[in-house]
Chain A
């Protein structure tokens, strides 16, 4: 079974530029998550999708961050414009569905550096 795929693996941009990350979850997984992991910290949930609907985006900085999962499969996370404090690893995870009996499977992440 293929795991969660993310691209790019690394991205370096200047502040005020825009950037987009892509995630392809495990086939058949209805729930998709985006996490932000700042260096030295644990991952923090940004947004959770169930199919193509948003379940929780309470910690997403909506003035600059946006995410979509139009067809309920792959997802894109965008930052526009980027700030220095956005430097982090962005992790995507998926699970079969909501609920505790469905563990989250994580991708390798995209490491974003803002200059």
Chain B
């Protein structure tokens, strides 16, 4: 069965520290898609990234980077030089090829960045 595990419930860091949010997934499909969303206190889920199972290249976007490793079924998210505005709940999600619109979310990691 499909499942997304975010073992870190809450992480606190001080501004300018680097922080990595872990995500481990389970799926029987060979074709699947992985996502990260940010949920600030306002409640809206903000799309950050989507990767497919055939593309294991790591990606960097500004201070954000993602490390996809099929061997360990992980899709970790690193924020470099964190800022107070990064404080939010971050969700990892999975969708499978037979139903790409159905997102299966993890339980989220609350990140608090202190000044």
| Partner-B contacts on A (CB < 8 A) | 3, 31, 33, 40-45, 48, 55-56, 89, 91, 93, 95, 98-100, 103-109, 111
Inter-chain contact A40/B100, CB cutoff 8 Å: no
State whether A56 and B99 are in contact (beta carbons under 8 Å apart), knowing that A91-B45, A100-B33, A109-B44 are contacts in the complex. yes
Contact of A99 among B100, B103, B105, B106 (CB under 8 A): B100
Please tell me which one of the listed residues A33, A42, A56, A105 contacts residue B91 in the complex, with CB atoms under 8 A apart: A42
Q: At the interface, yes or no: B61 with Cβ under 8 Å from chain A?
A: no
> Interface size for chain B: under 10, 10 to 19, 20 to 34, or 35 or more residues?
20 to 34
Chain A contacts for B33, CB-based, 8 A = 100
Most chain-A Cβ atoms within 10 A of its Cβ — which of B43, B99, B100? B43
Q: Are A106 and B44 in contact (CB under 8 A)?
A: yes
| Chain A residues in 8 Å Cβ range of B91 | 42-43
Instruction: Report Cα–Cα, A103/B107, bound state, in Å.
Output: 20
**Would you give the 0/1 interface string for B40-71, flagging 1 where the beta carbon is closer than 8 Å to chain A?**
00111111001010000000000000000000
Contacts A42-B108, A109-B44 given; indicate if A104 touches B103 (C-beta within 8 A): yes
Asked whether A42 and B93 contact (CB < 8 A) given A89-B43, A106-B44, A108-B43, the answer is yes
- Residues of chain B touching chain A, judged by Cβ–Cβ distance below 8 Å, are 4, 33, 42-47, 50, 52, 91, 93, 95, 99-103, 105-108
B22 to chain A, nearest CB (A): 15
Residues of A within 8 A of B45 (CB): 43, 91, 93, 106
* Pair A45/B102 contact, Cβ less than 8 Å: yes
Q: Which residue of B lies closest to A31 (CB)?
A: B101
A93's nearest neighbour on chain B, judged by CB, is B45
Given contacts A40-B107, A100-B95, contact A109 B43 (CB under 8 A): yes
Whether A108 and B103, one on each chain, are in contact in the complex, defined by CB atoms closer than 8 angstroms, is no
- Whether A42 pairs with B47 at a CB distance below 8 angstroms is no
